[in-house]
Chain A
Amino acid sequence: MFESPTIAEFVTQSNLASTLPGTLLVAWTLLLVLVDLFAGDEREHWTPLGACLGLGVSFVANLFVYAPAADQQTALYGMFIADAFTGFLNIVILVATLLAVLMSRDYLMRAGIHRGEYYILTLLSSAGAMFMVAANDLIVVFVALELLSIPLYILAAFRSIKNDGGELALKSEESGMKYFILGAFSSAFLVFGAALVYGASGTTNIPQILEVAPAVVDAASSATFYLVVGTALLIVGLGFKVAVVPFHMWTPDVYEGAPTPVTALMSVTAKIGGFAALLRILVTALSVLLLVDGGVAAWQTTISIIAALTLVLGNFVAISQRNLKRMLAYSSIAHAGYIMVALAAAGTAGSADSATQGALVYILAYMFTNLGAFAVVMTIERVDGGGGNIDDITGLARSRPLLAMAMTIFMLSLTGIPLTAGFVGKFMVFAAAVQAGLVGLAVIGVLTSVVSAFYYMRVVVNMYLRDSSGELLPALETVYVRWAINIALAGTLIFGIFYPLASNLVSMVSIA
């Protein structure tokens, strides 16, 4: 019946071992579905506990698989690639998910709803992100992106929040609906782009596209046209996912309306997945082929313009926001712009590796800092969704000094002040941009960072300096969100103070 390889041969050929971090997480999640079914209401804490354990198992598997870190290998017949890039981003995704699960536990407990499905969807979404950073084939990019996005659509619409009058404000459904429509719209762009790239090159495998592409470009036939249009559509589709200007319109509404832990999760994992795919597709598959003149990829100009627009718009619009979640939404658009700077820098021949490493360190710093900031917002936000305005944080330093201290450090890190992780990330990205000859873009980056200080520091000013003679702010949160803040704070400070740590971690990374 079969060509009959033995089980052992089959395991080696498909190289399943190197996919273990992702596949174990999925298998664990499926088990968790059954656990959640039979646990019942008295043991509803089993599911979040199991979710944390599953993340731990995946984390350990990740350490084993990527321990040597040196040799990259493919799995599942070339569809999956396991290299230092994958291993590093897997860790970032797992830590982000752990923080999000802790925040979700707090959120669901305070809202008085026990829904095990919430954690299951969270884990599935993260597994999608893990497959996306390991995708070595356009088909896998697409399927992993959907596994990442579809649970997030549901999570964004998970709970409509009642306002003070007790009537349904329906923000969560609205958020989920908007996220869904824009997400499906962008997926269609991605698929059509992938179809055209496949038509031009005859393969969906990313390294094979690299081999075929120079000939396609030289031929100057309709295939060349397909390749260029396909690349543009791929950039549009993934640009929606990572929310860069001009594909950012959905972000503020979706981030504001979704439950805060979901916002925190999607602001990190969706961006990681999108940027990983952009780096793999543009840098790995399409770098050599589009080197037109002077060793610069043809897409570099486009990406640079998108990056500059994103930096300017994200930072300037954030200034006028009164709602903290909305402000962080625009701030996350701006941060996507900084990662986009690294992506543009990767388009110059020879600086692809340093730019990629810069992007990874930036993502690591952004993950800790952004999740920490959202966790602090959760502590002052009431469960009905109110209380999240920038004025509501006034006097936090008097009533909750430690919390205010943590928020200050997160804000400093988002601005990019030295001794925080944010500085290390920005420094590496700008250094890569200068090395790649994109001095103008680096200057825009530094200037917009100065602008961003204005709205980040306003939060600090509100906490410390504004008159707060009113009553003390009550402690609304549970212990789980405090753990999340502590972990995020530790990450922000450790990677900021011991700054060679992060660059050492990514020194093996090379995707070109």
Chain B
Amino acid sequence: MNVLNEWAFIGMFAVLAPIFPALPIVIAWLFRPRKPNVLKSSTYECGVETIGDTWVQFRVQYYIYGLIFLVFDVEMVFLFPWAAAYNEMSLFGFVAGFLFIFLLTDALFYAWQKNALEWK
């Protein structure tokens, strides 16, 4: 398959892709009954309309939770390849992985002792 064919495929995809979501909307528009009222024509959003300013300050505690979550979120980037390569690993890789987990545990212990895990 040469490059041109691949691009042709992408081109076809670009043409067809908008048609699929547009088609049901057009069909529904053709066959729907037309009885509008205020409630029906109002913009739909999930939940009730907001009251007051939406730009409120959140508690800083959320940030600290997010920070601790982030550490273990990023941990996966290293632990997943480590786990996948587990069977072919040298002792060096094995020790390095555990050292890494130990470092994170040390950090978690620190956060715990500093009461970062308490909801205040």
- In contact, A1 and B87 (Cβ under 8 angstroms): yes
Across the A-B interface, give the 8 residue pairs with the lowest CB-CB distance, nearest first: A10-B91, A37-B113, A3-B90, A2-B91, A33-B110, A14-B92, A30-B106, A5-B91
Alpha-carbon distance between A2 and B90 when the two chains are bound, in angstroms: 5
Alpha-carbon distance between A34 and B89 when the two chains are bound, in angstroms: 32
Interfacial residues, chain A to chain B (CB-CB below 8 A) = 1-5, 7, 10, 13-14, 30, 33-34, 37
Within 8 A of A (CB), among B12-30: none
Give the residue name and chain of the B residue nearest to A30 (CB): B106
12 A-B pairs whose Cβ atoms sit less than 8 Å apart in the complex:
A2-B91, A5-B90, A10-B90, A10-B91, A10-B92, A10-B95, A14-B92, A30-B103, A33-B110, A34-B109, A37-B110, A37-B113
Question: Would you give the shortest CB distance from B68 to chain A, in whole angstroms?
Answer: 16
B94 is an interface residue with CB less than 8 A from chain A: yes
Q: A3-B90, A5-B90, A37-B113 are in contact. List 20 more A-B contacts (CB 8 A).
A: A1-B87, A2-B89, A2-B90, A2-B94, A3-B91, A4-B91, A7-B91, A10-B90, A10-B91, A10-B92, A13-B92, A14-B92, A30-B106, A33-B106, A33-B110, A34-B106, A34-B109, A34-B110, A37-B110, A37-B114
> B89 to chain A: which residues have CB within 8 Å?
2
Interfacial residues, chain B to chain A (CB-CB below 8 A) = 87, 89-92, 94-95, 103, 106, 109-110, 113-114
Q: Identify which of B92, B95, B114 gathers the most chain A CB atoms within 10 Å of its CB.
A: B92
> A37 to chain B: which residues have CB within 8 Å?
110, 113-114
Give the residue name and chain of the B residue nearest to A26 (CB): B103
Question: Would you give the shortest CB distance from A354 to chain B, in whole angstroms?
Answer: 38
Alpha-carbon distance between A1 and B91 when the two chains are bound, in angstroms: 9
Give the residue name and chain of the B residue nearest to A38 (CB): B113
> B94 to chain A: which residues have CB within 8 Å?
2
Give the residue name and chain of the B residue nearest to A1 (CB): B87
Alpha-carbon distance between A1 and B94 when the two chains are bound, in angstroms: 10
Alpha-carbon distance between A34 and B87 when the two chains are bound, in angstroms: 34
Question: Would you give the shortest CB distance from B59 to chain A, in whole angstroms?
Answer: 20
Alpha-carbon distance between A487 and B114 when the two chains are bound, in angstroms: 36
> A30 to chain B: which residues have CB within 8 Å?
103, 106
> B92 to chain A: which residues have CB within 8 Å?
10, 13-14
> B95 to chain A: which residues have CB within 8 Å?
10
> A1 to chain B: which residues have CB within 8 Å?
87
Give the residue name and chain of the A residue nearest to B106 (CB): A30
Alpha-carbon distance between A33 and B94 when the two chains are bound, in angstroms: 25
> B91 to chain A: which residues have CB within 8 Å?
2-5, 7, 10
Q: Identify which of A2, A5, A14, A33 gathers the most chain B CB atoms within 10 Å of its CB.
A: A2
Alpha-carbon distance between A7 and B106 when the two chains are bound, in angstroms: 24
Q: Identify which of B90, B95, B103 gathers the most chain A CB atoms within 10 Å of its CB.
A: B90
